[in-house]
Structure 1
Amino acid sequence: MNIEPILMLPGMFCDTRVFSAQMTALGRDGLVAIAPTTGGERVEEVASAILSGAPQKFALFGHGYGGVVAQEVLRRAPERVTRIALMGTTPLAETPQDAADREVRIVAARSGRFDDAIGAEIRITDLAVGPQRNDVFAKISAMAKANGPDAYVRQARAMQRRKDQQAVLRRIKQPALVICGAEDGKTPVKRHEFMAELIPYARLEVIDGAGHMPMLEQPQAVTSILQEWLRQPFVLR
């Protein structure tokens, strides 16, 4: 089905495991790669490193912090991105209050209270209510601990320093998809509606039974939406 490679960028705390269901399904039709997002304290630094190792042209999918990095990748090299999908993310810069709250979590991570930082950064109430909630949170926690507090601090610093990308979204000509969990307590549906309105011809998909981690909470739904996005022909507008 897909002919261009797909580059997926995981969000805060996460690694390859967060996209395991999508990798398995989409990998049958082409190359699917996961780019690490833990390597720098600035979004620009992370995006530059990703571009240096990415294929010449690729479809781009980012979640959360990975979505923030994806927008910077698009800003730097729009001619290399064939289509873009953003989930659970924002184009806005950090507010002073959010930066201050994040600083508290950084201090906790650096002082041996990494569990506190994890629980404050991704709250269990950010996930959809249901029997899978505790299991999904446990998977996030496991990935966070595998990556370690230093990786989290780098990501948190990058989020504090991120730039506003609204102008980047307004210039998108590629097939664009915005995905949100209906019960996302971290980046609610209204924020995704705003983001989709910024992007010319963007499609918004709201997934029932999912919160901030739809790829883990409703993996088949996310996979199906991505498959449809990959079938969409590129039309230069």
Structure 2
Amino acid sequence: MFPAALRPWPVVGPGIREFRPFRVSPAHMEAALPMLLLPGLLCDRALWQGLRPGLEEYAEVETLPSWECNQSLPQLADRLLNRLPDRFLLVGFSFGGYLALEMACRAPQRLGGLALLSTRAGPDRAEERRQRETWLHQARGEDFEDIVEAMLPRFLHPRHLKREELRESLRSMLLRNGFQTFLQQQKAMLLRRDWRPHLDRIQAPALVLCGQQDQVTPPDCSRAMASALTGAECHILPECGHFSPMERPRTVLARVQAWLWRCLR
């Protein structure tokens, strides 16, 4: 782990921060690839607190800070691809999974591995699209706390919703990333493409994972992605909602570590 990761990255464009040089530990110098963690809607580095220390034992890990998505996903993907090394690993959660899929489909030959956590390759359902359009056209800043509060039961398994520390940690993270970021990310999700016809282009080792009780990206989404990705492993976690990295961090870490070793072979 390197201290530079804890400092703000210099901004080089709208909502994107410059990557500091990756440094790989000597023990894994020849095999390791840099790993980029892509957070979800209104998420930041706090999402990965339960995973990052365990991943840094095997790879050079960087986390993309929460970004204001005032560009399309293709534009964001191109900007990141221009700043990444020639080969890399991607771990995307939820909205970060959409960005990971866009990057993977645009540059499959550069991908050393792809982990998709609680996300989907297909478009929104009709009711989800209507909800995003309603937020974009009718929501106001003073509504933001109520919007976040209403999302929590959809984000967490009922058992984990009762865990006060987890619930408040998630709520605080969502709120601190702000209403404007929320709107910009909703717009980016509305405009995203359907990646399903392009999944067969991705030949790198893939991991697909979600919670059994995920209401946002249900298990069928993960199973469908895994069946379309060459040699992908799919894991459905019991007693887990949408926020798998925060609800079941040890289990998610174990699955991601196992995938990482597949990537290093």
What is the TM-score normalised by the length of structure 1? 0.90
Q: Quick one: which amino acid aligns to residue 52 of structure 1?
A: N
More deviation, 37-46/201-210: 37-46
Q: Select 1:150's aligned residue among 173, 180, 183.
A: 180
2: distance between equivalents of 1:92 and 1:68? 10
2: distance between equivalents of 1:103 and 1:116? 17
- How far has the Cα of 1:166 moved from its partner? 0.6
Where does residue 200 of structure 2 map in the other structure?
A: 170
* Distance change >3 Å, CA 74–CA 58, structure 1 → 2: same
> Any idea what SS the aligned residue of 1:232 has?
helix
2: distance between equivalents of 1:203 and 1:57? 21
Where does residue 119 of structure 2 map in the other structure?
A: 89
Where does residue 250 of structure 2 map in the other structure?
A: 220
Where does residue 40 of structure 2 map in the other structure?
A: 11
2: distance between equivalents of 1:108 and 1:55? 41
2: distance between equivalents of 1:49 and 1:119? 33
8 Å CA contact retained: 2:154, 2:242: no
- How far has the Cα of 1:129 moved from its partner? 2.5
- 1:110-121 equivalences under 5 Å are 110-120=140-150
8 Å CA contact retained: 2:108, 2:203: no
More deviation, 208-217/45-54: 45-54
Q: Quick one: which amino acid aligns to residue 76 of structure 1?
A: R
1: distance between equivalents of 2:75 and 2:257? 30
8 Å CA contact retained: 2:113, 2:263: no
Where does residue 206 of structure 1 map in the other structure?
A: 236
What is the TM-score normalised by the length of structure 2? 0.81
2: distance between equivalents of 1:69 and 1:75? 10
- How far has the Cα of 1:25 moved from its partner? 1.0
1: distance between equivalents of 2:77 and 2:263? 26
* Distance change >3 Å, CA 203–CA 146, structure 1 → 2: same
State the Cα RMSD in Å.
Answer: 2.1
8 Å CA contact retained: 2:108, 2:201: no
- Identical-pair percentage: 29
Where does residue 55 of structure 1 map in the other structure?
A: 85
- How far has the Cα of 1:202 moved from its partner? 1.1
Aligned length: 234
More deviation, 34-43/3-12: 34-43
In structure 1, runs of 5+ residues without a counterpart are none
- 1:175-186 equivalences under 5 Å are 175-186=205-216
> Any idea what SS the aligned residue of 1:227 has?
helix
In structure 2, runs of 5+ residues without a counterpart are 1-27
